[in-house]
Structure 1
Amino acid sequence: MKIEKIEVFAVRFPLKVPFVVSYHRYEDMPSVIVKLTSACGHVGYGEAVADEHVTGESLESTISIIHRLLGPQLIGENPMHMERIHDVMDRSIRDVPAAKAALDIACHDLVGKKLGLPVYDLIGGRYHDAFPVTHVLSIGDPDAMAEEAKQQLDAGYTSIKMKVGVDVASDVARVAAVRRAVGPDVPIRVDVNQGWENAGKTLQAMQQLIPYALDWIEQPVRADDFEGMAEVKAKSVVPIMIDEGVRGMPEMRRLTLMQAAHKVNIKLMKCGGIYPAKKLVHIAEMSGIECQIGSMVESSIASSAGFHVAFSSKIVRSVELTGPLRFAQDVGNLQYDLPFIRLNEQPGLGIEVDEAVLEQLATARYEVTG
Structure 2
Amino acid sequence: MLPTAIRSIEIFKLFLPLHEPFIISLGPIKEVQNVVIRIRTADGCTGYGECSPYLTINGESVDTCFVVAQYLARGLHGHDALDIAGALAIMNRIIYANSSIKSAFDIALHDIAAQQAGLPLYAFLGGKSDKVLTTDMTVSLGPPAKMQADAVRFQQQGFPAIKVKLGETLEADVARIRAIRAGIGPDHLLSIDANQGWHTADAAIAVLRALAPYHIAHCEEPIARHLFMDLARVSAASPIPIMADESCGDEHDAARLIQLRACPQFNIKLGKSSGLHRARKIVELGEAAGLTLQVGGFMESRLGMTAAAHLALTSAAIRHCDFDTPLMYTEDPVLGGICYRPNGIIEVPDVPGLGAIINEEYLRNAEKQVIE
Q: State whether TM-score is above 0.5.
A: yes
- Of the structure 1 ranges 281-290 and 111-120, higher mean CA displacement relative to structure 2 is found in 111-120
Pairing 1:246–2:251 present: no
Task: Give the alignment of 1:303-342 within 5 angstroms.
Answer: 303-333=305-335, 334-338=338-342, 339-342=344-347
1:157 aligned to 156, 159, 168, which one? 159
Q: Distance in 2 between matches of 1:174 and 1:73?
A: 49
**Corresponding residue SS for 2:82:** coil
User: Which ranges in structure 1 are unaligned for 5 or more consecutive residues?
Assistant: none
**Corresponding residue SS for 2:36:** strand
Pairing 1:148–2:166 present: no
Q: Distance in 2 between matches of 1:127 and 1:354?
A: 26
Q: CA deviation at 1:127?
A: 5.2
2:182 aligned to 176, 180, 188, which one? 180
Counterpart of 1:118 in structure 2 is 120
Counterpart of 1:345 in structure 2 is 350
**Corresponding residue SS for 1:30:** strand
Q: Distance in 2 between matches of 1:262 and 1:127?
A: 26
Q: Distance in 2 between matches of 1:344 and 1:10?
A: 25
**Corresponding residue SS for 1:224:** helix
- Contact in 2 for aligned 1:190/1:214 (Cα 8 Å): yes
Cα-to-partner distance string for 1:286-329 (whole Å, 9 max, x where unaligned): 11121111101211111111111111122111111212111111
Cα-to-partner distance string for 1:255-303 (whole Å, 9 max, x where unaligned): 0100101100010000100111001110111111211111012111111
Q: Distance in 2 between matches of 1:250 and 1:269?
A: 15
Q: CA deviation at 1:358?
A: 2.9
1:74 aligned to 59, 73, 76, which one? 76
Pairing 1:51–2:46 present: no
Pairwise CA RMSD of aligned residues? 1.2
- Contact in 2 for aligned 1:310/1:319 (Cα 8 Å): yes
| Counterpart residue identity of residue 21, structure 2 | P
- Contact in 1 for aligned 2:161/2:190 (Cα 8 Å): yes
Q: Distance in 1 between matches of 2:41 and 2:314?
A: 26
- Contact in 1 for aligned 2:12/2:37 (Cα 8 Å): yes
Q: Distance in 1 between matches of 2:263 and 2:364?
A: 43
1:12 aligned to 15, 22, 38, which one? 15
**Corresponding residue SS for 1:321:** coil
Q: Distance in 2 between matches of 1:181 and 1:141?
A: 14
TM-score (norm 1): 0.96
Q: CA deviation at 1:117?
A: 1.5
Q: Distance in 1 between matches of 2:332 and 2:341?
A: 17
Q: Distance in 2 between matches of 1:159 and 1:281?
A: 22
- Of the structure 1 ranges 255-264 and 107-116, higher mean CA displacement relative to structure 2 is found in 107-116
- Contact in 2 for aligned 1:142/1:173 (Cα 8 Å): yes
Count of residues in Structure 1 that have an aligned counterpart in Structure 2: 366
User: Which ranges in structure 2 are unaligned for 5 or more consecutive residues?
Assistant: none
| Counterpart residue identity of residue 250, structure 2 | G
Q: CA deviation at 1:152?
A: 1.3
TM-score (norm 2): 0.96
Counterpart of 1:235 in structure 2 is 237
- Of the structure 1 ranges 333-342 and 158-167, higher mean CA displacement relative to structure 2 is found in 333-342
* Percent sequence identity over aligned pairs: 31
Q: CA deviation at 1:128?
A: 4.1
- Contact in 2 for aligned 1:15/1:29 (Cα 8 Å): yes
Q: Distance in 1 between matches of 2:364 and 2:243?
A: 38
| Counterpart residue identity of residue 242, structure 2 | I
- Contact in 2 for aligned 1:226/1:245 (Cα 8 Å): yes
Q: Distance in 1 between matches of 2:332 and 2:79?
A: 30
- Contact in 2 for aligned 1:43/1:110 (Cα 8 Å): yes
- Contact in 1 for aligned 2:48/2:357 (Cα 8 Å): no
| Counterpart residue identity of residue 134, structure 1 | D
**Corresponding residue SS for 2:358:** coil
1:40 aligned to 37, 40, 43, which one? 43
| Counterpart residue identity of residue 43, structure 1 | T
1:367 aligned to 347, 358, 370, which one? 370
Q: CA deviation at 1:123?
A: 0.7
Counterpart of 1:354 in structure 2 is 359
Q: Distance in 2 between matches of 1:35 and 1:341?
A: 25
- Contact in 2 for aligned 1:331/1:358 (Cα 8 Å): no
Q: CA deviation at 1:209?
A: 0.6
Q: CA deviation at 1:13?
A: 1.8
Q: CA deviation at 1:344?
A: 2.5
